[in-house]
Amino acid sequence: MKHNASAGYGNIYGTRSPRRRSRNDRRKLFVVTCLFICMVCVILDVIFIAKLMKKGKKEVTPTSVTASSVPLETDESGNVITPPETQQGESTEPSETTAAKVQTVDAATRSANLSALQTKITDYLTSQNGRYGVYYINMNNGETLGVKESDPIVAASSIKIAYNTYLYEKAAAGELTLDEKMKYNAAGYPQGDYEAGTGNIQNSADGTEYTLQEVSHRSITISDNCGTNMVLRRLGGEDAVNNNYLKTISAVVDYRSKVEYTDYAGNAQNGRRRTSAIDLAKYAEHLYKDYRGNETHYQPLIDDLCNTEYNWGVPGGVPGDVKVAHKVGFNTSYGANNDVAIVFGSEDYVLCVMTESGDAKKAQDIIAEVSKMVYEYVESNYA
């Protein structure tokens, strides 16, 4: 019998056995599965990286401010001013960058340094033309320094720091709420709220409603005169605020009493709405203590004071990363330029510098120079 070669070897080489075919199929399936898993991982990685890049791009995109979003304001004498640019997105919380510093001088050395600072400031102001008052209070250890701190000078808008602190104190006591609404009275002050000068509420229609929070915010940040008058109206008027609040804190110069003095030009002056460097500093000290006792409640007021449209004065004498809550005041008719501030440094302190010279730019530079002297003194005690 003949053998068919192709048939005889077909079982061995012509077809695969079921066992071998099953093994090869499993290998193919394993390879395909691995490739699929790798492709999925690559896709997921690409998606994740794309999201990170998109998020990073958003975080570094600056906020733009158009010229039309910043209204034109006027000074306290009715002159149009252009507000300085403000930095966007900057935190108004007190700086914590100096927390690690430690005091490096003993009490005797510090006392000598403080005495030297007083001499330095006195000599500097004596060399300038005009009248000046300075008062410094350290919030950490209570030390003080004064140079003609009791001399009467027109308060201007610096007094608004006290008005608004009193408003917040009333709110903290539950006697009013900052979200309650008031209607703007377009009649002239004191019968109504209208007063020309700084601010933009004066452009509102009679009866326009504002919350107390909003009028306080404008009173501080753009020194709105009408907003301040609305604050005063809610508190019972200037005399009520003076008797029930200002005089309970400090009244070396009574704000509502006529005072006589000789001005920077040698002319006899008398009138009300004068104050002194020590009085304004005491009002700022009062706010600081309120704030430290209830930071959540008073934070909006501190934020407003840290973000006013007026960056001259005390902030000009400290580094830009140091937070300064301050209220300037200026009156061109009397040649006054003032600033009262809370400086959050290695040691928190209050500084008030009042000037009367008739030269606004020079006065602002002088305030900044005194501020620099005080700041350097405080920081010189630390390392």
Question: For the segment 118-156, what is each residue's pLDDT rounded down to a tens digit?
Answer: 999 999 999 999 999 999 999 999 999 999 999 999 999
- For residue 249, what are the contacts with CB-CB under 8 A and spacing of at least 6? 162, 279, 282, 283, 286
HSE-CB of 18 using CA atoms within 13 angstroms: 0
> b vs e for 259-275, b when ≥16 Cβ sit within 10 Å of the residue's Cβ?
bebebbeeeebeeebbb
Three-state secondary structure string covering 318-354 = CCCCCEEEEEEEEECCCCEEEEEEEEECCCCEEEEEE
Pairing label, strands 209-211, 181-183? antiparallel
pLDDT single digits (tens) 305-314:
999 999 999 9
Ranges under pLDDT 50 in the chain: 1-16, 52, 54-92, 94-98
- pTM value is 0.75
Distance CA 335, CA 359 (A): 7
pLDDT at 92: 47
- Non-local CB neighbours of 145 within 8 Å, separated by 6+ positions: 114, 117, 118, 121, 134, 135, 136, 374
Residue 51 has a pLDDT of: 54
d(CA 22, CA 114): 94
Query: What would the pLDDT profile of 88-114 be if each residue is shown by its tens digit?
Result: 334 445 444 445 577 778 999 999 999
**pLDDT value of position 47:** 63
DSSP string, 223-283: --HHHHHHHHHHHT-HHHHIIIIIHHH--SS-TTS-EEEE-TTS-EEEESSEE-HHHHHHH
Close Cβ partners of 275 (under 8 Å, ≥ 6 residues apart): 152, 153, 155, 158, 159, 253, 255
At residue 315, the 3 state secondary structure works out as helix
Axis-axis angle for helices 295-306, 212-221 (nearest 10):
40
User: What is the per-residue pLDDT for 32?
Assistant: 66
Beta bridge partners of 145: 136
Q: Report CA-CA distances (Å) from 330 to 18, 78, 239, 327.
A: 101, 12, 22, 10
Give the end-to-end CA distance of the chain in Å, rounded to a whole number: 112
At residue 47, what are phi and psi to the nearest 5 degrees?
Answer: -60, -45
How long a stretch of residues is the chain?
Answer: 383
